[in-house]
Structure 1
Amino acid sequence: MTLHLTGPYLLVALLAGLGTYGILARRNAVLVLIGVELVLNAANLLLVTIGASGGDRWSAGNVLTLFVITIAAAEVVIALAVVLAVFRLRGDVDLTVERSSDGALPPADEREGAR
């Protein structure tokens, strides 16, 4: 039995491309985090696809994928907690806030786009 791996490889490329675009082009911390998760899921799909082409049921790719999913879940929890703390402190989660000359953040009401 032969597996046609073109589809999964194209999906991996699409997910990785969308995730990279989300990381590089977005200013919102939550959207950047979603981009990171897309790249991680592309890597997981690549590992599973490579494992499926080998024919071994419990190949290293499948085991590594389970490990990466576990680490990604912990990473999301920690990252969202940090984003929530930053939102409560600053009032937004924009990643491109300009700092003053001494390195301090301006108050939330003096920043552009503040409510």
Structure 2
Amino acid sequence: MAKYEVKVYKDVLYFKYNEMAETVAEAHQQAGEVKRALSQPGVTKFLNDNCNIQSIANAEVSEVWRDLMGWVGSNIEKNATIAPNVTLKMQLNRLSRSAGTYDSVRAFTSMDEALHFMGIPDFQLEN
């Protein structure tokens, strides 16, 4: 299985993270691919599916993803994350509320809720 999957559907970039990046170089490569895909004309939303992630990134890899999320927040209209558990969902939504971005940045544990938030209830994971 690939470490991640990328799909563009309508105005949404879907990024499914299957396995955590192990090195900073790997994280930079993945973040670069996300930025390139999000920079395509017409892509205005980011659906980040982390439902398969069970481990926590090391501090250096986390910093790469933190930088990417800052870039996403400045360049994308909506960002939804599928969290692997309710605790992480609540933590991410609390951060979003405190940053004043809750209308555009949210976490969910349900794909259907995330798709509704993104405005793409007809999105299909299979090609």
Higher alpha-carbon Rg: 1
More strand by share: 2
More helix by share: 1
TM-score, normalised by the number of residues in structure 2: 0.27
